[in-house]
């Protein structure tokens, strides 16, 4: 990816890199911002989730990309529309780095309307800081006009992605996630071009009797990635919430200095670290229910279930991102409700296959079109801008250089959907006990006869009465449902293999890893 050297479009006024205090004052003046009783700001947005249907890669020829795309000529037309609009607006610049390692950080710039200062403030919390001596020159740029409608696109909203120039333009969305995604999407391409693999993953360090263990948690937004990353085991500390780069030889790099957390169902009992950070004065909220006294209700979904918050890792006990080396294990989250165990241990080929399958149940983070539906998102990475088979092949390649212990982790239920009296919920304490057992090496394993991976025979911390979530076949047998179970298994294996063989360049050994 070429370094982005083009000048920003001229504006009525430009305020470059205002302080956090200045940004908060600007955000507080927004008519759709309310101050909570904790002293932080809660912004009510028009757009409630990422706008996948409005996002387009710029290409010379549509045959060049399997992604949703438009021509460079059309991209140029939209750029001119946006530039003309910016000329009459007050704008903000926020500069920062994606990543904290001086040898592997990416200079990024956000150029956004001052009238939506919360977006600038939230992005500032996620960028790593720029210092005067750095000689900063942006490699990736996001030009963001939340109030510019562009006719002819879904909801008059369009996001254009120029991967060659490292420029994303966002029009007519006031949802902060588009700023975050814009930079990280371009960064995805940059990492792959350098021989690595971008992972939509949290990262944590867990102390054990045999030393610290570093775990990566891969999963779609809303499936438990942040919860799993922040839930405490042995005084564990989070390092990263959303994206890491895994490079040849196993080196791992972080991306963000803060967290963009989903707040629905947030409780001080099960997620005390996130809850404590979200109610600090410096945190920013989006679309969280709030009463007239400023009290927050994280369980009210009357406006949206996709309430969000940003906060800096400096607000919590986090491990330094710059200290990251390699990882010891990787969890692939799969929010399911049938025959998937709470945890399964995978060999390298299976790991690449389940990584490519990216199976889960969609949440409000992906918009109404995904919420509640069974999804397959390769790599569980909605930010990936290129051919999906590249992800799977690179994963298997990197596993050959630095093999990790990889596990499939179901954060949903076994035996049926919630509300079905026959189903068994995989609760946060179950998942926490599993992560602790993985880090400490205390889980007993046995081969699953149906899928060929290893399932847990015993997990310290999970009582015998709850072990049904560990071995689905036994649960179905005990309920007289074995025929239903076997039909589900055969259907799932067939669907998985057909799905993987739909990627023409995907390695044959990956596609065959889930077959009968």
Of residues 30 and 374, more confidently modeled: 30
Residue pair 80/67 in contact (Cβ under 8 Å)? The answer is: no
Q: What is the pLDDT of residues 259-307, one digit of tens each?
A: 999 999 999 998 999 999 999 999 999 999 999 999 999 999 999 999 9
Structure tokens at 281: 């004065």
The band of 1, judged by pLDDT with boundaries at 50, 70 and 90, is very low
Q: What is the pLDDT of residues 233-253, one digit of tens each?
A: 999 999 999 999 999 988 999
Q: 209 CB contacts (<8 Å, ≥6 apart)?
A: 440
Q: What is the pLDDT of residue 311?
A: 97
Q: What is the pLDDT of residue 221?
A: 79
The CA-based angle 251-274-351, given to 5 degrees, is 40
C-alpha torsion 51→53→59→60, nearest 10: -140
Integer Cα distance of 343 and 331 in angstroms: 9
Write the CATH number of the domain with boundaries 258-316: 2.170.8.10
The band of 373, judged by pLDDT with boundaries at 50, 70 and 90, is low
Burial degree of 272 (CB within 10 A; 0-12, 13-18, 19+): middle
Query: Which residue bears the tokens 């006869």?
Result: 449
Integer Cα distance of 93 and 104 in angstroms: 23
Whether residue 378 has pLDDT greater than 50: yes
Whether residue 4 has pLDDT greater than 50: no
Whether residue 103 has pLDDT greater than 90: no
Each residue of 293-307: b (16+ CB within 10 Å) or e?
eeebebeeeeebbbb
* Region of residue 486 (left: phi > 0; alpha: psi -120 to 50; beta: else): alpha
Residue pair 121/23 in contact (Cβ under 8 Å)? The answer is: yes
Q: What is the pLDDT of residue 361?
A: 66
Q: What is the pLDDT of residue 222?
A: 73
Q: What is the pLDDT of residue 64?
A: 66
Whether residue 370 has pLDDT greater than 50: no
Integer Cα distance of 96 and 124 in angstroms: 7
Fold matches, 13-34+48-194 and 258-316 = no
Whether residue 383 has pLDDT greater than 60: yes
Summarize the confidence of residues 422-444 as an average pLDDT. Answer: 96
Write the CATH number of the domain with boundaries 13-34+48-194: 3.40.449.10
Integer Cα distance of 397 and 393 in angstroms: 6
Domain 198-256+322-514 listed as CATH 3.90.228.20: yes
Shortest CA distance to 385 belongs to which of 188, 90, 158, 242? 188
Whether residue 410 has pLDDT greater than 90: yes
Q: What is the pLDDT of residues 316-359, one digit of tens each?
A: 999 999 888 899 999 999 988 999 999 999 999 999 999 999 99
pLDDT > 90: percent of the chain: 86
The band of 6, judged by pLDDT with boundaries at 50, 70 and 90, is low
Mean pLDDT, the chain, integer:
93
Q: What is the pLDDT of residue 144?
A: 98
* Rg of the chain, C-alpha, whole Å: 23
Distances (CA, A) of 267 to 111, 140, 231: 35, 36, 12
Q: What is the pLDDT of residue 2?
A: 41
Distances (CA, A) of 190 to 89, 247, 256, 430: 31, 12, 16, 37
Q: What is the pLDDT of residue 430?
A: 96
Sign of CA dihedral 368, 374, 380, 382: negative
The band of 68, judged by pLDDT with boundaries at 50, 70 and 90, is very high
Summarize the confidence of residues 486-513 as an average pLDDT. Answer: 94
Domains of the chain, by residue range, sit at: 13-34+48-194, 198-256+322-514, 258-316
Q: What is the pLDDT of residues 17-26, one digit of tens each?
A: 999 999 999 9
Shortest CA distance to 451 belongs to which of 371, 513, 358? 513
Q: 456 CB contacts (<8 Å, ≥6 apart)?
A: 341, 342, 343, 434, 437, 443, 444, 445, 446, 470, 471
- β-partners of residue 242 are none
Least confident of 4-8, 85-89, 353-357, 430-434: 4-8
Q: What is the pLDDT of residues 106-163, one digit of tens each?
A: 999 999 999 999 999 999 999 999 998 888 999 999 999 999 999 999 999 999 999 9
Integer Cα distance of 298 and 334 in angstroms: 24
């Amino acid at each position: 990816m070429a370094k982005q050297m083009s000048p920003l479009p001229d504006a009525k006024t430009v305020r470059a890199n205002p302080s956090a205090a200045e940004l908060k004052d600007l955000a507080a003046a927004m008519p759709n911002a309310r101050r909570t009783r904790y002293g932080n700001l809660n912004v009510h947005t028009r757009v409630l989730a990422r706008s996948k249907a409005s996002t387009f890669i710029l290409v010379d020829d549509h045959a060049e990309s399997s992604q949703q795309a438009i021509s460079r000529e059309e991209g140029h037309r939209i750029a001119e529309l946006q530039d003309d609009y910016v000329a009459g607006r007050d704008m903000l610049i926020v500069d920062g780095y994606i990543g904290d390692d001086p040898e592997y950080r990416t200079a990024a710039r956000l150029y956004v309307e001052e009238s939506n200062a919360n977006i600038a403030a939230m992005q500032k919390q996620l960028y790593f800081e720029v210092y005067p001596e750095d000689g900063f020159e942006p490699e990736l740029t996001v030009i963001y006009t939340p109030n510019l409608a562009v006719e002819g696109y879904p909801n008059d909203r369009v996001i254009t992605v120029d991967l060659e120039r490292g420029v994303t333009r966002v029009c007519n969305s006031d949802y902060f996630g588009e700023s975050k995604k814009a930079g990280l999407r371009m960064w995805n391409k940059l990492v792959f071009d350098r021989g690595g693999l971008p992972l939509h993953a949290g990262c944590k360090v867990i102390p054990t009797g045999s030393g610290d263990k570093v775990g990566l948690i891969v999963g779609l937004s809303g499936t438990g990635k942040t919860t799993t990353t922040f839930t405490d085991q042995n005084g564990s500390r989070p390092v990263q919430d959303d994206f890491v780069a895994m490079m040849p030889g196993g080196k791992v790099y972080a991306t963000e200095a803060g967290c963009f957390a989903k707040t629905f169902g947030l409780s001080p009992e099960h997620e005390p670290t996130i809850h404590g950070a979200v109610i600090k004065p410096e945190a920013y909220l989006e679309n969280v229910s709030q009463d007239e006294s400023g009290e927050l209700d994280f369980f009210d979904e009357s406006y949206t279930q996709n309430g969000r918050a940003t906060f800096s890792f400096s607000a919590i006990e986090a491990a330094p991102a710059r200290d990251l080396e390699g990882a010891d294990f990787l969890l692939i989250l799969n929010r399911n409700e049938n025959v998937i165990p709470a945890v399964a241990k995978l060999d390298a080929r299976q790991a690449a296959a389940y990584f490519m399958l990216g199976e889960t149940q969609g949440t409000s983070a992906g918009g109404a079109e995904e919420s509640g539906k069974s999804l397959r998102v390769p790599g569980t990475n909605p930010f990936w801008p290129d051919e999906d088979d590249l992800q799977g092949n690179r994963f298997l390649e990197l596993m050959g250089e630095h093999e990790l212990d990889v596990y499939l982790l179901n954060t949903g239920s076994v035996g049926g959907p919630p509300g079905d009296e026959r189903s068994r919920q995989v609760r946060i304490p179950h998942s926490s006990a599993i992560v602790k057992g993985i880090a400490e090496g205390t889980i007993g394993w046995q081969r699953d006869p149906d899928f060929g991976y290893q399932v847990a025979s015993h997990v310290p911390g999970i009582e015998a009465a709850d072990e049904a979530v560990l071995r689905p076949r036994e649960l179905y047998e005990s309920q007289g449902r074995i025929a239903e179970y076997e039909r589900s298994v055969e259907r799932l294996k067939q669907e998985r293999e057909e799905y993987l063989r739909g990627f023409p360049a995907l390695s044959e050994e990956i596609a065959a890893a889930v077959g009968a």
